[in-house]
Structure 1
Amino acid sequence: MNSQYQPYQDELAAATAAVRAAGHIVRRFYDDATAATYEKGDGSPVTDADLAADAIIREVLVRH
Structure 2
Amino acid sequence: MEADELSEIESALKKFHEGEYGVCEVSGRPIPIARLEAMPLTRYSVEAQRAMEEQGSNW
**After TM superposition, is the score higher than 0.5?**
no
TM-score, length-scaled by structure 2: 0.38
Whichever structure has more helix as a proportion of its residues is 1
